[in-house]
Chains A and B, each alone.
With several copies, the nearest count.
Chain A
Amino acid sequence: MIRNTCGLILADDKRIHMGDLTRPRALSAVPFGGRYRIIDFALSNMVNSGILTIAVSTFNKYKSLMDHLGTGSAWDLDRKSQGLYILPPYISSESYTGRGDDLSGIISFFREIKQEYIIVSSASCILNTTYDELMAYHRDKNADISVMYNRDGYKAEAPVTILDMTRSGRVKGVYENPLNPVSNRNSLGVMLMRRELFVEILGEAMSRGTTEVNPEFYVKEFDRYAIYGYEYKGCALRINSTQAYFDATLRALSEPTRTDVFWQKQPVFTKVKDEAPAIYSEDCEVRDSMISDGCYIQGSVKHSMLFRNVSVGNKAKLTNCIIFQDTQIADGCELENVIIDKKCVIRPGIKLIGQAAYPVVIGKGAIV
């Protein structure tokens, strides 16, 4: 457990667009892994590390995020004096203006609290860990800022933040989406520093006219601060595009990713839905799939991820599919390499075939 530390989760990333999936919601509110939203991982990592004061910053499309987070009780963050705070841009505005201003809200929040350290986490990486080792490393290096990275920098999709590091681990260069990466060290958007330093850096950024938080922008101060890179050796899934999302989900069905992401010692908390158990009919056939509560399965489901309360009709065939909650797949449908958003209805006999490298996406609430 790390003590005396607060957290900030940047719930969206303006550099990442996922079409129909992020149209109605912030990036971190995109459903993932059958019963979670992407933000659950960053939130649970903090809670499981013992962090009790967590702010979530978001610049738009708050509704699904606010609905999901609620009072914070699912993460045991519905607290009297600490807990979960949503920081929409308006929070500091005292006049009747509609213009968003992320930074001033964040600064005033973090100026007022008392924790010594802050962990800032972006929303686009899914990993399941605690920050105990990061903190030990930070103290050991006597670092100003510690940045978590892993070694997939050569192959990862943009946005990529490549760290150039000395042998001792100190960051000596930072490259955004470089054509020829100098290393494979790719920031995971998780950073640890003193809270006061964070407020100071943000204040300076604001005084230079910045109004938005980019997960890695403070890393660019490497000539001024002692910034160290900390390598995360577990599995991290980067959600940078629809394709990356599709691949990450199907990868999470198999070992060792499944255990790395879902089955760690520390649980991944999420909002409770109180669905009934999943019911398998006498004739169904399910293979290599994750199935959530409330599902009712009559057809065949292979290498797929079914969220809560999905029904799969008689003789329907699903292969390599991701089906969000409350969607109904009618009898006899044939779906392959398809992502279907919430509350869709796929009518009897419909055939939707995408490619593994180009999945078909059906937007929220569609009737096909």
Chain B
Amino acid sequence: MKKELIAMILAGGQGSRLGALTDTMAKPAVPYGSRYRIIDFPLSNCVNSGIDTVGVLTQYQPLALNTYVGNGHPWDLDRNNGGAFILPPYQHSKGSDWYKNTANAIYQNIPFIDNFDPDYVLILSGDHIYKMNYAKLLEYHIAKGADATIAVYEVTKEEARRFGIMTSDENGRIVKFEEKPAKPESTQASMGIYMFNWPLLKKELAEDEADAASSHDFGKNVIPKLLAEGRQVFSYPFQGYWKDVGTIESLWESNMDIIDRPRDIDLQDDSWRIYSRNPVKPAHYIAPGAKVRGSALTDGCVIYGSVHHSILSHSVVVEAGAVVEDSVLMPGVVVRRGACLKKVIVGMETIIGENDQIGGEENKEHPYYNKKICSESITLINGGLILKPDISVPGNCMVSMAQTVAESDQIIERCENIPAV
């Protein structure tokens, strides 16, 4: 059945900069902001923009995403014509391929897209927190008579060196694109959101696939080629909250923004709900002796201890005498009595032992000290762990089963499977 516009969400990446958090789930499935998972944002944006057909391209640990997205019902994407589709790589009669890169992932799914015979295809990332009306982007794309339109975000000159930077003329037409320029000519950063005319994109993808020198990436190959061909490529400036949550630091920051910059992210906005799969739990309970301030909580939490400036997902338990500060606790985390967390991200279903002291001052000699994934003194505890009681872990550490530490330094009692939803 024909659709004017369908969206394809690139949800394939392992997201290795999120460290142990993505050991068992793809990045878009990572819990965020008390009630959500990262993928709720692009999915909700699609539905709120009137897009009812969304392909979710996935190959790395898709189970959590697969069961989380499920029938698509929470996002109103359980449609008979269209809806949400998880699209893994597959075998065909002439062989089989994993997705080589972003453009190749779309290339491999040309038959899926052709099924809906769309005029336009919207390519999205699965790991950004923002609210955008793609219908407006499409209007702009049509009004400009564009071949492709790229959403861009104003960054500082400083930040510009970390992004793909677009230089546009006065009409918004992109004249130059540079990946992480040392001397940025502009401060318009690509948001990784591309609107294409499907017939053109299909042709370009086939050519890109045939090009042995290409790395089959939208940013590195497809867009530069369009520009080189002199195509009408426009930039669409986006205002509003936008954050790539691809690192532990940005994930922590973006979580804190919910309480520090509530108006910017505006989750209360009735006209643009962010939908999520509901955990089916009772309202949360704050006990007589508890103290909760400057925090965000959701269903199923039970708080006997003290919670300050923290983001708690559903079903988190904080026992009496425990203190949670500047932290992000994912679904099902239990903080046993007397434990103390400071600037910690704790993965799903992990149990913090009695009187554990986690986070705070850094200690570069500590066996769990991590400088590759963690920064800004944020400590990351992976999901599914049961920590021993009375242990202490300083700031900027990463704790997961993968770490090899001396027997005497071992703080993990055991590890359990995290249920996918």
Q: Return A296 CB to nearest CB of chain B, in Å.
A: 8
User: Is B287 engaged at the interface, CB distance under 8 Å to the other chain?
Assistant: yes
User: Is B247 engaged at the interface, CB distance under 8 Å to the other chain?
Assistant: no
- Cα distance A277–B279 in the bound complex, in angstroms: 13
- Taking a contact as CB atoms closer than 8 A, the residue among B74, B274, B284, B293 that contacts A278 in the complex is B284
- Cα distance A25–B262 in the bound complex, in angstroms: 35
Q: Return A118 CB to nearest CB of chain B, in Å.
A: 18
How many interface residues does A have (CB within 8 Å)?
44
Q: Return B323 CB to nearest CB of chain A, in Å.
A: 15
CB contacts (< 8 Å) of B273 on chain A: these are 81, 274
The contact string, 1 if C-beta is below 8 Å from chain A, for chain B 222-266, is 000000000000000000000000000000000000110010000
Is A34 touching B283 in the complex (CB atoms < 8 A)?
yes
With known contacts A73-B73, A288-B288, A293-B35, A277–B258 Cβ distance under 8 A: yes
Is A278 touching B276 in the complex (CB atoms < 8 A)?
no
CB contacts (< 8 Å) of B259 on chain A: these are 279
User: Is B356 engaged at the interface, CB distance under 8 Å to the other chain?
Assistant: no
The contact string, 1 if C-beta is below 8 Å from chain A, for chain B 284-313, is 111111101111111100000000000100
- Taking a contact as CB atoms closer than 8 A, the residue among B34, B35, B268, B282 that contacts A290 in the complex is B282
User: Is A313 engaged at the interface, CB distance under 8 Å to the other chain?
Assistant: no
Is A280 touching B293 in the complex (CB atoms < 8 A)?
yes
- Cα distance A284–B286 in the bound complex, in angstroms: 12
The contact string, 1 if C-beta is below 8 Å from chain A, for chain B 186-199, is 00000000000000
B170-226 residues at the A interface, CB under 8 angstroms = none
- Cα distance A292–B282 in the bound complex, in angstroms: 8
User: Is A15 engaged at the interface, CB distance under 8 Å to the other chain?
Assistant: no
With known contacts A267-B280, A279-B296, A283-B293, A274–B285 Cβ distance under 8 A: no
CB contacts (< 8 Å) of B284 on chain A: these are 278, 290-292
Q: Which of B76-84, B123-131, B371-379 contacts A (4 or more CB under 8 A)?
A: B76-84
Is B290 touching A73 in the complex (CB atoms < 8 A)?
no
Is B74 touching A272 in the complex (CB atoms < 8 A)?
yes
Is B292 touching A284 in the complex (CB atoms < 8 A)?
yes
Q: Return B389 CB to nearest CB of chain A, in Å.
A: 25
User: Is B278 engaged at the interface, CB distance under 8 Å to the other chain?
Assistant: yes
Task: For B5, give the chain A residue with the smallest CB separation.
Answer: A1
- Taking a contact as CB atoms closer than 8 A, the residue among A281, A284, A293 that contacts B299 in the complex is A293
User: Is B15 engaged at the interface, CB distance under 8 Å to the other chain?
Assistant: no
Q: Return B121 CB to nearest CB of chain A, in Å.
A: 17
User: Is A358 engaged at the interface, CB distance under 8 Å to the other chain?
Assistant: no
With known contacts A262-B282, A269-B280, A286-B292, A277–B274 Cβ distance under 8 A: no
User: Is A315 engaged at the interface, CB distance under 8 Å to the other chain?
Assistant: no
Is A277 touching B76 in the complex (CB atoms < 8 A)?
no
User: Is B267 engaged at the interface, CB distance under 8 Å to the other chain?
Assistant: yes
User: Is A253 engaged at the interface, CB distance under 8 Å to the other chain?
Assistant: yes
The contact string, 1 if C-beta is below 8 Å from chain B, for chain A 127-144, is 000000000000000000
The contact string, 1 if C-beta is below 8 Å from chain A, for chain B 20-51, is 00000000000001110000000000000010
- Cα distance A292–B284 in the bound complex, in angstroms: 6
User: Is A258 engaged at the interface, CB distance under 8 Å to the other chain?
Assistant: yes
- Cα distance A291–B281 in the bound complex, in angstroms: 12
Is A291 touching B297 in the complex (CB atoms < 8 A)?
yes
Is A280 touching B76 in the complex (CB atoms < 8 A)?
no
- Cα distance A21–B151 in the bound complex, in angstroms: 50
Is B297 touching A76 in the complex (CB atoms < 8 A)?
no
User: Is B134 engaged at the interface, CB distance under 8 Å to the other chain?
Assistant: no
Task: For A3, give the chain B residue with the smallest CB separation.
Answer: B50
With known contacts A81-B76, A293-B299, A276–B35 Cβ distance under 8 A: yes
- Cα distance A291–B287 in the bound complex, in angstroms: 11
User: Is B275 engaged at the interface, CB distance under 8 Å to the other chain?
Assistant: yes
Name, among B258, B281, B282, B288, the residue most crowded by chain A CB atoms within 10 Å (CB to CB).
B282
User: Is A79 engaged at the interface, CB distance under 8 Å to the other chain?
Assistant: yes
With known contacts A35-B283, A73-B80, A80-B76, A278–B296 Cβ distance under 8 A: yes
User: Is A67 engaged at the interface, CB distance under 8 Å to the other chain?
Assistant: no
CB contacts (< 8 Å) of A262 on chain B: these are 282
User: Is B416 engaged at the interface, CB distance under 8 Å to the other chain?
Assistant: no
- Cα distance A80–B73 in the bound complex, in angstroms: 8
Name, among A3, A276, A289, the residue most crowded by chain B CB atoms within 10 Å (CB to CB).
A276
Task: For A297, give the chain B residue with the smallest CB separation.
Answer: B292
CB contacts (< 8 Å) of A267 on chain B: these are 280-281
- Cα distance A33–B284 in the bound complex, in angstroms: 11
User: Is A287 engaged at the interface, CB distance under 8 Å to the other chain?
Assistant: yes
User: Is A112 engaged at the interface, CB distance under 8 Å to the other chain?
Assistant: no
Task: For B74, give the chain A residue with the smallest CB separation.
Answer: A272
User: Is A217 engaged at the interface, CB distance under 8 Å to the other chain?
Assistant: no
Task: For B303, give the chain A residue with the smallest CB separation.
Answer: A286
CB contacts (< 8 Å) of A292 on chain B: these are 283-284, 299
User: Is A223 engaged at the interface, CB distance under 8 Å to the other chain?
Assistant: no
B→A interface (CB under 8 Å): 4, 33-35, 50, 73-74, 76, 78-81, 258-259, 262, 267-268, 273-276, 278, 280-290, 292-299, 311
Q: Could you jot down 9 A-B contacts, CB within 8 Å? A: A73-B73, A272-B278, A275-B268, A278-B296, A280-B297, A283-B293, A286-B290, A287-B290, A288-B288
Known: A76-B79, A287-B286. 6 other contacts (CB 8 A): A258-B285, A274-B275, A280-B295, A284-B293, A288-B288, A292-B299
